[in-house]
């Protein structure tokens, strides 16, 4: 494409198929303790 550079092409919808296992880290246990920052967590299934 001439006018667009796609940085990420994904569809979160895909994660509905295999997601929701609940094995991921609880976000407050990482560093913050004062805000809910799930966007920077990793998926336990992907990190295996």
CA count, 13 A, side-chain hemisphere, 13: 2
Tell the smallest beta-carbon distance from residue 45 to other proteins (Å): 8
What's the Rg (C-alpha) of the chain? 15
d(CA 13, CA 21): 15
Residues numbered 21-40 forming contacts with other proteins, rule: CB under 8 A: 21-40
Tell the smallest beta-carbon distance from residue 25 to other proteins (Å): 7
Our finding on whether 48 is near other proteins (CB under 8 A) is no
Our finding on whether 11 is near other proteins (CB under 8 A) is yes
């Amino acid at each position: 494409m001439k006018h667009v550079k796609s940085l990420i092409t994904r569809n979160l919808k895909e994660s509905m198929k295999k997601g929701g296992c609940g094995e991921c880290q609880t976000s407050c246990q990482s560093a913050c303790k004062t805000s809910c920052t799930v966007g920077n967590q990793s998926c336990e299934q992907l990190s295996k």
